[in-house]
Amino acid sequence: MLKRFTPQLALLAIICLIAAFSYVKSEVIPTNTTTDIAKTVIIDAGHGGFDGGASAADGTVEKDINLQIALKTAYILRLNGFEVIMTRDSDTGTEDDESEAIAKRKKSDLSNRLQMMKDYPDAIYVSIHLNKFTTSAANGAQVFYTKNYKEARDLAQSVQQSIVTLIQPENTRVVKQGTDSTYLLKNAAVPTIIVECGFLSNKSELEKLKNDDYQSQMALAIVGGIMDYSK
Ligand SMILES: [Zn+2]
């Protein structure tokens, strides 16, 4: 078992993914028509700006780690030839009117994120979040999917499997269909998943999630799952 997934190893894995993907591309289609294989991925860094999301005992706010993992995921996806749209790439919400009351801003923020799905109907939507639970022992990533598209479950499974294989070999969580209480999953207009990357309420997982290398490993694992799904 790997003791630690080092940055060098992560880089090697990225290079391997790129090489594997280029190989598949060159095998399947002539090199001058790459648009057929290009996939559009909307990467959604959960929360942002006025909406911090969950927070940890040490004051770490979910929105900040979501953004770091989302930026790294987008970067690796682009390296691998995907078109990437980000719902946000800085610490902002997506609401229309910042002077409104919080509840209205939240509603506007979510409906704008949903609108991005409608703007890119051929895309898949990958939302990055962190979990929090009353019991501090709970840990490990878990991927949720919309019931609106049957392929969303396949995407969720690919991403869950990739995370388990690459960085969380002891994780026994399984993918779950989102409930109607999750607005984006209930209303999803493209195949949509929410990746809950880990628990802010678990001390050792929190330390990992705050670590830049670990965020890169998580991003790489998410990309691995997306690539596997997109084959
Ligand atoms: Zn969240």
Q: Domains (ranges, CATH) in the chain?
A: 35-230 (3.40.630.40)
What is the amino acid identity at position 57? A
Task: Please tell me the distance between residue 160's alpha carbon and the centre of ligand 1 in angstroms.
Answer: 17
Return the sign of the alpha-carbon dihedral for residues 68, 74, 44, 85.
positive
State the pTM of this model.
Answer: 0.85
Residues 109, 111: Cα–Cα separation, whole Å: 6
CA dihedral sign of residues 186, 188, 193, 199: negative
Q: How far is the CA of 62 from the centre of ligand 1 (A)?
A: 7
pLDDT tens track, the chain, 231 positions: 444 555 555 555 555 455 454 444 444 444 444 444 449 999 999 999 999 999 999 999 999 999 999 999 999 999 999 999 999 999 999 999 999 999 999 999 999 999 999 999 999 999 999 999 999 999 999 999 999 999 999 999 999 999 999 999 999 999 999 999 999 999 999 999 999 999 999 999 999 999 999 999 999 999 999 999 998
CA of 113 to the centre of ligand 1 (A): 14
* CA 187 / ligand 1 centre spacing (Å): 17
∠ CA 169-174-109, rounded to 5°: 110
Q: 219: CA distance to ligand 1 center in Å? A: 17
Strand partners, 192: 125
Residues less than 5 Å from ion ligand 1, measured at CB: 46, 53, 129
